[in-house]
Amino acid sequence: MARVKATVIRKIGIEEIYGKNLPKVSKSFKSPCQWPFKEGDTFVFERGKPVPEGFCPWAYADLQRDIVHLMFDGDFPWMDEKGVTYATCTDGLRPVAFRLERIE
């Protein structure tokens, strides 16, 4: 079975999403995401193995279906490159974008 590599593409800040119409957030709110991801960081997911160390569990919950789809040789019809997709965690205030790719 294939493995899937997740590469951090970008951490997106609240200002980039909402511009000048920022939602009302607490004074303790920090943007972008405070998880210690850096652009270019990679993580490899394997069936039957725990989530890679250092990967945000909330992001994994959001990306899991795409990761499993790729592991089972699924492709995404809107992608010209087979075995690849792009996804973000669902944090509506400071998402992180990932490239997901099947690796053999």
Mean pLDDT for 1-17 is 95
Neighbours of 79 (CB within 10 A): 11
Residue 52 DSSP one-character state: P
Return the domain boundaries, the chain. 3-103
pTM of the model: 0.93
Q: Cα-atom radius of gyration of the chain, to the nearest Å?
A: 15
pLDDT (tens digit, 9 = 90+) per residue, 21-67?
A: 999 999 999 999 999 999 999 999 999 999 999 999 999 999 999 99
